[in-house]
């Protein structure tokens, strides 16, 4: 077998293992997840799993880091394509929403780790998350300079937008159970990207009526 084919096969196996790990850690948390279940779901034996990725801690690190790297790349692309601070601020949670659409387990994975205080987050993942937070901070600073925004705490704003979006992604599973109990008006946003836009609209324009 040619060396490039061997390399591609190894890359594919590693990617499959990491995806399986992300799903299992999202469902069971770090403490409840098992290497056996990850190997079973990835369709490999444990020897291959350890060879391509590593032990449970390394599996978790790879699963989280690969996802936050994708998110950062998506956010950077979305911000670069957006004109003006308002459009850029809208693009940041929308990029998260798109990532969650591609990997539905992602919000649950991230919220589990946030609930644990980030105890298992590897340094590489922290660095990627910090990179996304810097994009939010830069967008807010640019908006404050051109008069689009008042000056606000960038850390709080980022957590408010992204953290709320991750929560909403999980809460969408309960949507049908709430439907007959809460008097929501017609035309409610039905997907995560629409929810993201609605959330940013509230953040940008507020809910208080401006007095004349």
Is residue 185 predicted with pLDDT exceeding 70? no
Q: Which pair of tokens denotes residue 188?
A: 């409610």
* Long-range own/partner contacts, residues 131-140 (CB < 8 A, 24 or more apart): 131/72, 132/68, 132/71, 132/72, 132/75, 132/92, 132/158, 132/162, 133/158, 135/75, 135/76, 135/79, 135/92, 136/89, 136/92, 136/161, 139/79, 139/85, 139/88, 139/89, 139/92, 140/85, 140/89
Q: Is 109 helix (H, G, I), strand (E, B) or coil?
A: helix
* 57-205 belongs to CATH 1.10.357.10: yes
Q: What is the pLDDT of residues 102-160, one digit of tens each?
A: 898 998 998 888 888 888 888 888 999 999 999 999 999 999 999 999 999 999 999 99
Percentage of residues of the chain with pLDDT beyond 70: 86
Give one word for 118, left, alpha or beta, with left for phi > 0 and alpha for psi -120 to 50: left
Is residue 77 predicted with pLDDT exceeding 70? yes
Give one word for 19, left, alpha or beta, with left for phi > 0 and alpha for psi -120 to 50: alpha
Percentage of residues of the chain with pLDDT beyond 90: 58
CA distance 138 to 97: 20
Residue 200: alpha-carbon gap to chain centroid: 16
For the chain, give every domain's residue range: 57-205
The pTM for the full model equals: 0.82
Supply the pLDDT for residue 206.
83
Supply the pLDDT for residue 187.
55
Q: How far is CA 197 from CA 119, 203, 208, in A?
A: 31, 10, 18
């Amino acid at each position: 077998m040619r060396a490039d084919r061997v390399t591609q096969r190894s890359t594919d196996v590693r990617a499959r293992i990491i995806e399986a790990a992300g799903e299992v850690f999202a469902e069971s948390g770090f403490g409840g997840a098992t290497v056996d279940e990850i190997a079973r779901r990835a369709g490999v034996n444990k020897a291959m799993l350890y060879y391509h990725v590593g032990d449970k801690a390394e599996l978790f690190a790879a699963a989280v880091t690969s996802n936050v790297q994708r998110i950062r790349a998506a956010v950077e692309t979305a911000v670069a394509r957006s004109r003006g601070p308002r459009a850029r601020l809208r693009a940041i949670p929308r990029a998260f929403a798109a990532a969650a659409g591609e990997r539905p387990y992602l919000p649950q994975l991230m919220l589990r780790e946030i609930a644990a205080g980030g105890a298992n987050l590897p340094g590489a993942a922290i660095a990627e998350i910090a990179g996304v937070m810097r994009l939010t901070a830069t967008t807010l600073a640019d908006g404050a300079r051109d008069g689009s925004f008042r000056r606000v705490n960038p850390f709080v704003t980022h957590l408010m937008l992204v953290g709320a979006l991750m929560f909403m992604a999980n809460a969408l599973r309960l949507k049908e159970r709430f439907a007959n109990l809460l008097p929501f008006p017609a035309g409610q946003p039905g997907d995560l990207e629409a929810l993201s836009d609605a959330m940013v609209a509230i953040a940008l324009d507020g809910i208080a009526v401006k007095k004349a």
